[in-house]
Amino acid sequence: MVNLFNYVYNYSSMCRIDHRIKYCAKLIGKAKWILDIGSGNSPYRKIFDYENYISADIEHYPEVDVICDATSLPFDNGKFDAIICTEVLEHLEAPEKALCEISRVLKPGGYLITSIPFMFGKHTRYDYVRWSDLGIKKLLNNHSLNIIWIENRGKIFSMMAELVRQLPAELLGPFSRDSNNFFKYGILFLYYLLIIPITILLRNMDNYVKNDNITIGYILIGQKEEILDVQKTD
């Protein structure tokens, strides 16, 4: 019951990024070393083409290879060809410090794949900050990372769909998907099942929206600046 509920709950979401991560994986191609920061259960491990994949998280999960803080990465300078860091930066008290570390362990010309929320409700008690597209561009530029591809995660109608999805939590308070309250699960399951066609309709209505000022968030690829080898001439 719990697994089925989780599937329907996630399917109804307009802010899922899995399919865009697949697109990012195709864009960067094969990598020798990939680091996944805040990896959790490493859902992207099977998506990328790589020789070595290291999953890192501050908490212990079965799939985590290294337990560490994003602001203090235990890796050599320039080790990784690509770094994945999705839905992590907003949960850090010092995101600037984390990006400094990411830039340090990333090879020149290497890629950072990240996603951030923008117009999205506070989630977990460690949720500190939001950035616009201009804000995240400036933040990355401060650490020698240039955005080479960025995409909105939906427009105004996707934002409305997400509000519909979050309505039960706002009305009833937070709920745990690991509890054994099958009656509550049943009611919520029916709710999320019923709103699937509504959220799909709203998402498709985004195609008719010209402005993209209202969005759930962004997913992007940043590339570390190459180090120019300037020869001194007499």
Residues 47-105: tens digit of each pLDDT: 999 999 999 999 999 999 999 999 999 999 999 999 999 999 999 999 999 999 999 99
Dihedral angle at the C-alpha atoms of 94, 95, 101, 105, nearest 10 degrees? 160
pLDDT (0 to 100) of residue 230: 43
Q: Give 182's pLDDT tier (boundaries 50, 70, 90).
A: low
Mean pLDDT of 215-220: 95
According to DSSP, the β-strands at 217-224 and 145-152 are antiparallel
Residues 129-141: tens digit of each pLDDT: 999 999 999 999 9
pLDDT (0 to 100) of residue 189: 79
pLDDT (0 to 100) of residue 90: 97
211: CB partners within 8 A, 6+ apart:
155, 156
What kind and span of H or E run contains 52?
Answer: strand 50-57
User: What residues pair up with 223 in beta bridges, in sequence order?
Assistant: 111, 146
* Domains of the chain, CATH where assigned: 15-155+211-224 (3.40.50.150), 157-208 (no CATH)
